[in-house]
């Protein structure tokens, strides 16, 4: 029987849309962070059942498959195991290409989900791991539950081709300012690996604690790993008192280090250790005072007391000598011992040697340093750091390692094969790249996740503010720079004000969700509004997983300025489709208060501005309260 014309016409139109790829299903929202290179969805979903098989075709895929099985078992209460064999119906399978696919590189993957199951293919195991992470993000939110949940476990029909924009996608974690246990470090690595980060920069030594066992130099952990206990704001705490016991701290044994390295490797994460020299070495000097110019036997590991005066523009004076002596051959013998043991532990090619914020005042006053400058025909004391770093690079080369340092290593002459981390903005990275050095872009205005996330009245105050959208807008390749020298980038988490893992997570997420798209996703695929939708889904997932995070992105931004002698305030919401309500009449803003539309002129007098953001008539941000006096201060 012939179909009515209208039905036939509608059916033909649908087929035409399908054939042309125009069906909106291809634009169906998904929650994969970071955004994949190519993703298309179609109608339908694969049901994961207790009978579903997890398959591997090569033994190398087993670790990833077992990680998936463990996550599924916890959330479903079922008992998945991993088997070896070709893909079959009702299976989730992992396989490596016999002939590598150039497009995928080392870390890319293909994921295809249809009625027969889910199939992940890749050139190397890193790609399989990332394909597995995308499967987890496509599963219902309850996959993050730590107890069994009864529900339909579905994965939408999808095709994904995905690979990273940058090879270096990292997070730096400072364990010197506050010590974090081995298990806390492993958890931090596990959570970052979900976002396809592949580099964990482990800041192991600084003025406030030496955290890695060096067997040939036992005092580094016997003395250098411990400081007197203090609670409160760093740089404002009391200095150690004579006879006071140093009981706060800890360190990682070499067996701990090996365990963490293996844990990270299973999650495609490389660990880059940092031994910060020649400055930031007070913990080492407390253990071995003869390493400094001052040779002060009373040097203590700093507990967060003030030991420097900062003058702005990077200028400062150290009140206590925390710098290794570049003119003393015993310093290089010490470093040779340290790097021998560090190099033997860490399989990656890099060792980070710091090089930042090195005060040279004690060098200027030291006769041996001055004699070395004269011998080497140095005109400026900064050249001593260049000399020191070149000596360190030679030591590292004998261990088969490459030198990596903060951008201060450009001063006084950079070591010939050094890789530079550009942290004081992007300028150091530009200079290094133009000199032909590889660069990791990590500029503080965009990626220092120890900075405040919202208004300073709502967050514990620290040096600066870094909002979520500014992270998302970061572009690692500066204009006019050859991208081949930019390895990638990373976020840096300094822990002066971060004493617990929960707070470390609060400072890291969602800013590192945003940065994961900066480092992984194609530049043209980034979309702020789409990211926000995914982020809100990940809030729910993090709640179930017990991962802490900040909701500071919902808070309004307040920008006061003076115009024609009048105080004016602009308000801004970085999350789309929020309404900003405010008051200047000493009432608490509600949905009945004025809605911000245009800049507000603040009258003279004892005025207080109160601001909050709303969605659908309900408050979603935190109320910000600022006096007129404070607004005037901020306008300058």
Active site residues: 206, 280, 357
Whether the bond into 105 is cis, omega within 30 of 0? no
Count Cβ neighbours within 10 Å for each residue of 87-126 and write b for 16 or more, e otherwise.
Answer: beeebbbbbbeeeebeebbbbbbbbbbbeebbbbbbbbbb
HSE-up of 487 (CA within 13 Å, CB side)? 21
- Alpha-carbon distance 224 to 246, whole Å? 10
Cβ-contact 608, 573 below 8 angstroms: no
E-state strands within 230-369 = 248-249, 270-277, 308-312, 315-318, 350-354
Please give the C-alpha separations between residue 448 and each of 180, 344, 552, in angstroms, as whole numbers.
Answer: 19, 30, 16
What tokens were used for 322? Answer: 């925390």
- Alpha-carbon distance 419 to 199, whole Å? 15
E-state strands within 49-164 = 53-56, 82-84, 91-96, 109-114, 117-122, 153-162
Please give the C-alpha separations between residue 160 and each of 110, 118, 388, in angstroms, as whole numbers.
Answer: 6, 11, 49
HSE-up of 415 (CA within 13 Å, CB side)? 27
- Alpha-carbon distance 67 to 28, whole Å? 28
376 Cβ partners below 8 Å, 6+ apart?
A: 383, 387
């Amino acid at each position: 029987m012939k179909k009515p014309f209208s039905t036939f016409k509608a059916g033909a139109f649908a087929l035409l849309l399908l054939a042309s790829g125009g069906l909106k299903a291809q634009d169906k929202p998904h929650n994969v962070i970071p955004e994949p290179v190519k993703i298309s969805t179609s109608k339908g979903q694969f049901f994961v059942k207790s009978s579903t098989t997890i398959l591997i075709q090569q033994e190398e895929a087993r670790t990833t498959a077992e990680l998936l099985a463990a996550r599924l078992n916890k959330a479903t209460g079922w008992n998945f195991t991993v088997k070896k064999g070709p893909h079959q119906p009702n299976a989730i399978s992992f396989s490596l290409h016999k002939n590598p696919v150039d497009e995928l590189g080392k870390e890319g993957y293909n994921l295809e989900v249809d009625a027969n199951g889910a199939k992940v293919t890749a050139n190397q195991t890193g790609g399989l791991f990332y394909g597995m992470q995308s499967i987890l993000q496509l599963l219902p939110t309850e996959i993050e539950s730590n107890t069994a949940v009864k529900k339909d476990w579905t994965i939408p029909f999808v095709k994904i081709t995905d690979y990273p924009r940058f090879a270096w996608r990292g997070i730096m974690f400072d364990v010197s300012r506050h010590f974090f246990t081995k298990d806390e470090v492993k958890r931090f690595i596990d959570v970052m690996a979900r976002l396809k980060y592949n580099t964990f920069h482990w800041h192991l030594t600084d003025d406030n604690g030496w955290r890695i066992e060096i067997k040939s130099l036992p005092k580094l952990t016997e003395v250098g790993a411990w400081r007197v206990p203090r609670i409160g704001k760093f740089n404002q705490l009391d200095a150690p008192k004579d006879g006071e016991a140093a009981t706060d701290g800890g360190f990682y044994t070499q067996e701990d280090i090996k365990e963490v390295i293996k844990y990270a490797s299973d999650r495609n994460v490389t660990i880059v250790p940092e031994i910060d020299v020649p400055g930031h070495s007070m913990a080492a000097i407390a253990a071995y005072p003869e390493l400094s110019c001052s040779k002060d036997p009373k040097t203590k590991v700093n507990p967060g007391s003030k030991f420097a005066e900062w003058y702005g523009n990077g200028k400062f004076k150290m009140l206590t000598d925390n710098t290794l002596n570049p003119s003393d051959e015993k310093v290089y013998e010490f470093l040779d011992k340290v790097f021998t043991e560090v190099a033997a532990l860490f399989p990656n090619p890099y060792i980070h040697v710091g090089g930042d914020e090195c005060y040279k005042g004690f060098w200027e006053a030291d006769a041996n340093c001055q004699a070395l400058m004269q011998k080497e025909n140095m005109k400026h004391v900064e050249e001593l750091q260049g000399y020191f770093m070149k000596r360190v690079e030679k030591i590292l080369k004998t261990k088969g390692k490459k030198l990596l340092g903060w951008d201060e290593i450009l001063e006084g002459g950079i070591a010939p094969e050094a890789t530079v981390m550009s942290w004081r903005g992007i300028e150091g990275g530009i200079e290094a790249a133009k000199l032909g050095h590889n660069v990791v872009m990590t500029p503080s205005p965009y990626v220092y996740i120890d900075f405040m996330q919202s208004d300073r009245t709502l967050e514990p105050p620290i040096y600066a503010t870094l909002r979520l959208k500014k992270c998302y807008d970061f572009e690692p390749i500066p204009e006019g720079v050859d991208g081949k020298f930019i390895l990638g980038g990373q976020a840096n988490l300094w822990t002066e004000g971060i004493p617990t893992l929960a707070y470390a997570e609060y400072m890291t997420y969602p800013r590192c969700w945003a940065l994961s798209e900066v480092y992984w996703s194609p530049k043209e695929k980034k979309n702020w509004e789409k990211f926000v939708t995914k982020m809100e889904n990940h809030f729910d997932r993090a709640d179930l997983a017990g991962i802490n995070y900040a909701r500071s992105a919902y808070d309004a931004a307040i920008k006061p300025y003076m115009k024609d002698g009048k105080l004016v305030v602009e308000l801004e919401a970085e999350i789309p489709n929020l309404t900003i309500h405010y008051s200047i009449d000493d009432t608490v803003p509600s949905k009945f208060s004025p809605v911000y539309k245009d800049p507000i002129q603040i009258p003279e007098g004892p005025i207080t501005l109160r601001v909050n953001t709303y969605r659908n008539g309900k408050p979603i941000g935190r109320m910000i309260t600022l006096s007129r006096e404070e607004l005037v201060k901020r306008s300058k």
